[in-house]
């Protein structure tokens, strides 16, 4: 990846310009996000300038507007410069949308949005995040095979599958501990879960990196060093600072909770306190903070799935921060876009499932519909579209977040009604979708 061109220091730009010209430029009222976008110098220098301005003059005025409105956060970069951000208009608009949607209600017709169905969609999203977060870090297993592993509960076949299972376990761990304050012990346990049996050196799991471990972030394609983290000796102090930030309920001056969560995501990645698994741990920490801040809908999103669509943008958002005086606004602007796109994907998914569910209810109307609960209807909905598909009691239990006995009762009832075909493989009972399922359903409807 090409490293972004670092902009000339603000003070150097000031020295270049005549004071009278500077006052003239100030009268133009150039804001921090020209043409509605928070450009980095590496991007802005290729855009056409406002009439009568050079690129350097334009950049000077943009930086002037950003510096005037910037807010410091209690973190410093390797050079001792404070991390800052500018609360631009675009961020305010996106935060308003997120406050409305991420802390509100799922905008979907019943019965999809009912409490009885939510666990199924939550488990599905946890599967998606576990898989794509691992794929971002090099896991090569296909999404289909990974979902089969997670649903069935079978043991992972290789390191890639182990990464995915670890990520899923980490997301479940976060759900169980979201009410607890952040601590060094929590972060180490989270990292241990994420990296179990996946590191070249197994002793690196659940501990801070050592000074002897020369860790850098590199472009996997050409080995270009993208980030050199702070010295390992500083990790305890810097992590303590991060923990204090996470556990502070209200910052002075105020920082929006979603901004806090995104900053934690960035800072853990920046500190890079572990030998490996830093990105996965940072994204998991973001989910923990959002749950703590009661943005409950975030649980149903997969930010990694959105990031995976254009991973270079994700990397560039980190690099832009580092290459422009630790200005976090680049990362905040990008990540709020990611969350909004993830919410849009969720709403599309729910709309599709609502249509599917209603279509199946129409097919099942009558006595058969009265015999089935929402989980069984979901199985039949899937089975009608996937003849020959095999369901296990364990996969059904995992998919719907119910006890084994509940799942067993569900599937045995479908076998009794001849809607699934029970057979035995080894010691386990499996249930297959018959090729003539649609005909069987139609027969029930006509009774």
d(CA 194, CA 237): 23
The pLDDT of residue 110: 39
Which has the closest alpha carbon to 179: 291, 315, 286?
Answer: 291
Q: Contact, 66 vs 86, CB < 8 A?
A: yes
* Among 57, 72, 87, residue at a domain's last position: 72
The pLDDT of residue 446: 61
Do 208 and 286 fall into the same domain?
yes
> How many domains does the chain divide into?
3
The verdict on residue 418 lying in a domain is yes
* Among 47, 72, 97, residue at a domain's last position: 72
Do 295 and 428 fall into the same domain?
no
Domain that holds residue 236: 75-348
Is the backbone peptide bond immediately before 111 cis, with ω within 30 degrees of 0?
yes
The verdict on residue 357 lying in a domain is no
Do 245 and 317 fall into the same domain?
yes
Do 85 and 64 fall into the same domain?
no
The residues pairing with 82 across neighbouring beta strands, listed in sequence order, are 76
Q: What is the CATH number of the domain that holds 231?
A: 1.10.3290.10
The verdict on residue 3 lying in a domain is no
Do 18 and 149 fall into the same domain?
no
* Among 305, 321, 348, residue at a domain's last position: 348
Using CA atoms of 133, 134, 135, 137 in order, give the dihedral in degrees to the nearest 10. Answer: 100
Do 127 and 21 fall into the same domain?
no
The verdict on residue 295 lying in a domain is yes
The verdict on residue 2 lying in a domain is no
Q: Read off the tokens for 108.
A: 């979907």
Sign of CA dihedral 433, 439, 442, 446: negative
Do 84 and 62 fall into the same domain?
no
Residues of the chain with pLDDT under 70: 103-120, 361, 365-367, 445-447
Do 273 and 388 fall into the same domain?
no
Do 59 and 136 fall into the same domain?
no
- Start-to-end CA span in the chain (Å): 65
The pLDDT of residue 353: 74
Do 440 and 368 fall into the same domain?
yes
Q: Contact, 217 vs 225, CB < 8 A?
A: yes
The verdict on residue 355 lying in a domain is no
Q: Contact, 111 vs 381, CB < 8 A?
A: no
Three-class secondary structure assignment of the chain: CCCCCCCCCHHHHHHHCCHHHHHHHHCCCCCCCHHHCCCCHHHHCCCCCCCCCCHHHHHHHHHHHHHHHEEEEEEECCCCCEEEEECCHHHHHHHHHHHHHHCCCCCCCCCCCCHHHHHHHHHHHHHHHHHHHHHHCCCCCCHHHHHHHHHHCCCCCCHHHHHHHHHHHHHHHHHHHCCCCCCHHHHHHHHHHHHCCCCCCHHHCCCCCCCCCCCCEECCCCCCEEECCCCHHHHHHHHHHHHHHHHCCCCCCCCCHHHHHHHHHHHHHHHCCCCCCHHHHHHHHHHHHHHHCCCHHHHHCCHHHHHHHCHHHHHHHHHHHHCCCCECHHHHHHHHHHHHHHHHHHHHHHHHHHHHHHHHHHHCCCHHHHHCCHHHHHHHHHHHHCCCCEEEHHHHHHHHCCCHHHHHHHHHHHHHCCCCEEEEECCEEEEECCCCHHHHHHHHHCC
pTM over 0.85: yes
The verdict on residue 5 lying in a domain is no
The verdict on residue 358 lying in a domain is no
Q: What is the CATH number of the domain that holds 437?
A: 1.10.10.10
The pLDDT of residue 366: 67
The pLDDT of residue 368: 75
Do 38 and 113 fall into the same domain?
no
The pLDDT of residue 439: 82
Do 143 and 290 fall into the same domain?
yes
113 burial class (0-12, 13-18, 19+ CB within 10 angstroms)?
middle
> In the chain, what's the furthest Cα-to-Cα distance?
90
């Amino acid at each position: 990846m090409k490293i972004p061109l670092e902009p000339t220091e603000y003070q150097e730009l000031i020295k270049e310009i005549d004071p009278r010209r500077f006052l003239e430029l100030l009268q133009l009222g150039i804001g921090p996000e020209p043409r509605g976008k928070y450009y980095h110098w590496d991007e802005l220098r290729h855009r056409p300038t406002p009439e009568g301005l050079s690129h350097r003059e334009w950049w000077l005025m943009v930086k002037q507007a950003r510096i005037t409105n910037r807010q410091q956060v209690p973190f410093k970069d390797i050079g001792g410069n404070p991390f800052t951000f500018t609360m631009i208009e675009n961020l305010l608009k996106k935060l308003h949308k997120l406050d409305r949607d991420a802390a509100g209600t799922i905008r979907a017709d019943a019965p999809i949005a009912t409490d009885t169905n939510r666990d199924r969609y939550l488990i599905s999203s946890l599967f998606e995040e576990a898989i794509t977060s691992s794929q971002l870090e090099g896991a090569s297993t296909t999404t289909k095979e990974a979902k089969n592993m997670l649903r069935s509960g079978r043991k992972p076949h290789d390191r890639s599958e182990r990464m995915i299972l670890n990520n899923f376990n980490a997301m479940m761990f976060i759900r169980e501990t979201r009410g607890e304050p952040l601590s060094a012990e929590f972060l180490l346990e989270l990292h241990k879960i994420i990296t179990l049996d996946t590191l070249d050196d197994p002793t690196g799991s659940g501990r801070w990196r050592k000074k002897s471990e020369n860790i850098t972030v590199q472009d996997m394609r050409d080995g270009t060093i993208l980030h050199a983290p702070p010295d390992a000796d500083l990790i305890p102090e810097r992590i303590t600072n991060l923990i204090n930030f996470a556990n502070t309920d209200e910052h002075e001056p105020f920082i929006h909770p979603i901004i806090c969560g995104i900053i934690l995501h960035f800072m853990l990645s920046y500190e890079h306190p572990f030998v490996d698994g830093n990105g996965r741990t940072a994204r998991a920490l973001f989910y923990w903070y959002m749950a703590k801040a009661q943005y409950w809908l975030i649980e149903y999103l997969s930010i990694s799935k959105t990031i995976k669509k254009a991973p270079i943008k994700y990397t560039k958002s980190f690099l832009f921060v580092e290459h422009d005086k630790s200005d976090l606004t680049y990362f905040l602007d990008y990540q709020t876009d990611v969350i909004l796109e993830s919410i849009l994907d969720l709403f599309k998914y729910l709309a599709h499932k609502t249509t599917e569910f209603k279509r199946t209810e129409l097919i099942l109307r009558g006595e058969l519909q009265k015999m089935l609960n929402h989980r069984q209807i979901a199985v039949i909905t899937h089975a009608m579209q996937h003849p020959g598909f095999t369901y296990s009691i364990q996969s059904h239990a995992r998919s719907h977040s119910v006890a084994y006995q509940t799942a067993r009762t569900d599937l045995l009832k479908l076998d009794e009604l001849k809607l699934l075909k029970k057979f035995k493989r080894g010691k386990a009972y499996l249930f297959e979708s018959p090729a003539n399922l649609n005909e069987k359903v139609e027969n029930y409807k006509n009774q």
